[in-house]
Amino acid sequence: MALLLVAALLFSSTTLGKGVYQTVPEFLTEIFAPEEPQQDYLWLTPELKASASEIINHPVRGLRIRYWRSDEKTVWVMEEIGKELPITIGVVVSQDNIEKIKILAFRESRGWEVRYAAFTAQYQGVKITPYNKLDSHIDGITGATLSVRAVTKVATLALHYHQQVSQSESKQARNKQTQDKESNQLVTEAP
Amino acid sequence: MNKTFFAAIIGLNLAVTAQAAPSLEEMWELIQQQQAEITQLKTQLETTEQRVTETEVKAEATIAAVEEVSAGPVAKLADWADKTSIGGYGELHYNNLTSDNSNESKNEMDLHRFVVFFGHQYSDDLRFFSELEVEHSVAGDDQNGEVEIEQAFIEWDYAENHRAKGGVFLVPTGIINETHEPETFYGVERNSVEKNIIPATWWEGGAMFSGEFGEGFSYDAGVHSGLFIDPTKLDSDEAPDPDYKIRDGRQKTSKAKADDLAYTGRIKYTGIPGLELSASAQYQTDVWQGEKFAGEEDADATLLEFHTIYNHGPFGLRALYARWDIDNVIESVKPGADEQEGFYIEPSYRLTDKLGIFARFSEWDNQAGDSSDTEKQQYDIGLNYWLDERVVLKADYMHEDVEQGDEFHGFNLGIGWSF
């Protein structure tokens, strides 16, 4: 017993950022370098809050959510509680499917296996269905059910948010096209 | 001609100039209008100044209120609540069982477990966790139930990916001993092998070190209070049977005899999604805790336990084997009790996200050390229906096959929840 205690004290160290495997700026550099990502916000309308709450299975709070983008790629960093403490999860969405998921911080004492590449690789290429579910099964980890659920919910939510951004942009593009068309018609019809 | 023309033009200009200049009355009216506008602007300015003053007062009041809230007791309560967690689980069972070889039956409705978790995070590295359980609804003298503290420990992350805990904790062995919220397993009742051989749910007081070494590998190693299988204690007056089963030895950390401690170790691999491979071992220095029986003493014991869990898509499989080797001295209490072992295998299939079916075969023997036929077998089939991720309805049919003792068959229904 005493030996175990001595060993514990020898191993004891002060770690910066408990359970933090990668900071958000480091993650963004990894994803976008050498480009500089553009930071933007998605406003949480009542309709979006309702659909997001259904996905995450609890109320979504706040006015807007920050994301980063470059071309058709968006990056979302969200925190979700597994059992008791928040897990920080980075999700890269490209062309409506998940390009990458990374656990940036894990603070609980069980379920840490979700940070392994063998687990997160299951999300690559996964899309969202019209029923706001992932279109592929994710194998769980025994004893880490709540952590797995948290990661899956955040993955689904990131795809849903990405979809909103894409739809909003498509709508804006269509409106612009309509306006341009109307302007051209006015020009041609002008006496 | 020219003179006449110029005179006419000059005369016309003078007439136009005389017509454009305002008259005195017009000038007076213009001044009146301007004065009115100045008065109106002055009034507006005064109103604006008053509003600015009022806004400043309101802003100051808001800041004061925010400061009051952010520094006041409500904020302190919020800080505390952020660090303190509450959870729990429970399960209600209905058993409808009859015996083939006796007149015994079991028709019961039982709030088998009602559990509340409390946890507190002192810092990133230090936390408290507890589990308070009421079994069978009512506890007290001559009541069926018990109030138990199954977990109450402090956990300290002494290094990255390594932690130590001290207090009362669940022994790291088996599948359901540590993870037993009702929605996490099939069957209304917990499986008989882990109940009778491990023996789940099993907790002890002591110190435990846990952590990761390499991707997917984890360890637990610790020292804690041991079992006390009291050979002088009889099960009941009606059927006087001395304690010899491993399950009889749980002291539940209630003034537990600690003359002889126990040591537990486990290695687990969870590096592949859906797969868990685990091996655990425990050494009990003396399950009689220094007591003597029929001139015998020092009943040391060793547990070896192996299990695997594999889930892939809708398929699931659980298999476990556990074996106790106890010193031969225990045979003075019960023949064959020096070996107690069992195994089970449980395939399952998720038909939908909400509905899953399973089958289980279990075999165990608490007197496996001799040639007498004392083993028990149990067959279970059933289903789970998850109303929510953490709320489950259960139904199963069970059939026992035993050589000695009552042999039950029948069905069980249950509802379970956790939060």
DSSP string, B190-207: PPHHHHHTS-SS-EEEEE
Q: What are the two backbone dihedrals, phi and then psi, of residue B195, each rounded to the nearest 5 degrees?
A: -70, -45
| Predicted pLDDT of residue A12 | 44
Give the residue among A102, A98, A91, A80 at the shortest CA–CA distance from A147: A80
Query: In 10 A of CB A117, how many CB atoms?
Result: 9
In the predicted structure, residue A150 carries a pLDDT above the cut 60: yes
In the predicted structure, residue A29 carries a pLDDT above the cut 60: yes
Residues 108-127 of B with CB under 8 A from A: 119, 121, 124-125, 127
| Predicted pLDDT of residue A16 | 40
Q: How far, in Å, CA of B317 to CA of B331, rounded? A: 36
pLDDT digits (tens, 9 = 90+) for B70-110: 667 677 677 777 889 999 999 999 999 999 888 889 999 99
In the predicted structure, residue B18 carries a pLDDT above the cut 60: no
**Dihedral, A141, A145, A150, A156 alpha carbons, nearest 10:** 70
| Predicted pLDDT of residue A135 | 95
Alpha helices in B121-207 (DSSP H): 192-196
Nearest-by-CA chain B residue for A108: B124
CA terminus-to-terminus distance, chain B:
114
Residues of A in contact with B158 (CB under 8 A): 8-9, 11-12
Is A60 in the B-facing interface, judged by CB distances under 8 Å? Answer: no
In the predicted structure, residue A66 carries a pLDDT above the cut 50: yes
- What ipTM did this prediction achieve? 0.77
What would the mean pLDDT of B264-283 be, rounded to a whole number?
96
Q: How confident is the model at residue B13 (pLDDT cuts 50, 70, 90)?
A: low
Q: What are the two backbone dihedrals, phi and then psi, of residue A10, each rounded to the nearest 5 degrees?
A: -65, -40
| B77-115 b/e (C-beta count within 10 Å ≥ 16 → b) | eeeeeeeebebbbbbbbebebebeeeeeeeeeebebbbb
pTM of the predicted model, to two decimals? 0.80
Q: How far, in Å, CA of B411 to CA of B300, rounded? A: 39
| Predicted pLDDT of residue A14 | 38
Q: Are B226 and B285 in contact (CB under 8 A)?
A: yes
CB-nearest to B272 from A118, A138, A145 is A118
| Predicted pLDDT of residue A175 | 79
What would the mean pLDDT of B174-190 be, rounded to a whole number?
96
Domain residue spans in chain A?
A: 17-181
DSSP A43-84: E--HHHHHHHHHHHTS---SSEEEEEEETTEEEEEEEEESSS
| Percent of chain B topping pLDDT 90 | 74
Q: Could you tell me the two tokens for A18?
A: 């408990």
- Cβ contact, residue pair B309, A142, below 8 Å: yes
Q: Could you tell me the two tokens for B158?
A: 């002494």
| Predicted pLDDT of residue A101 | 97
Q: Are B340 and B321 in contact (CB under 8 A)?
A: no
DSSP tag of A21: S
Instruction: Using only the alpha carbons of chain B, give its radius of gyration.
Output: 40
Q: How confident is the model at residue B414 (pLDDT cuts 50, 70, 90)?
A: very high
- Cβ contact, residue pair B223, A1, below 8 Å: yes
Nearest-by-CA chain A residue for B419: A83
Is B83 in the A-facing interface, judged by CB distances under 8 Å? Answer: no
Q: Could you tell me the two tokens for A173?
A: 């593009």
| Predicted pLDDT of residue A107 | 87
Mean of per-residue pLDDT scores for chain A: 86
In the predicted structure, residue A10 carries a pLDDT above the cut 90: no
Residue B323: C-alpha distances to residues A111, A144, B227 (Å): 28, 27, 15
- Give the closest-approach CA distance of A66 to chain B in angstroms: 23
CB-nearest to A141 from B124, B160, B273 is B273
| Percent of chain B topping pLDDT 70 | 92
Is B179 in the A-facing interface, judged by CB distances under 8 Å? Answer: yes
CB-nearest to A8 from B158, B212, B389 is B158
Q: How confident is the model at residue A9 (pLDDT cuts 50, 70, 90)?
A: very low
pLDDT digits (tens, 9 = 90+) for B103-143: 889 999 999 999 999 999 999 899 999 999 999 999 988 89
Residue A11: C-alpha distances to residues A92, B245, B266 (Å): 36, 40, 20
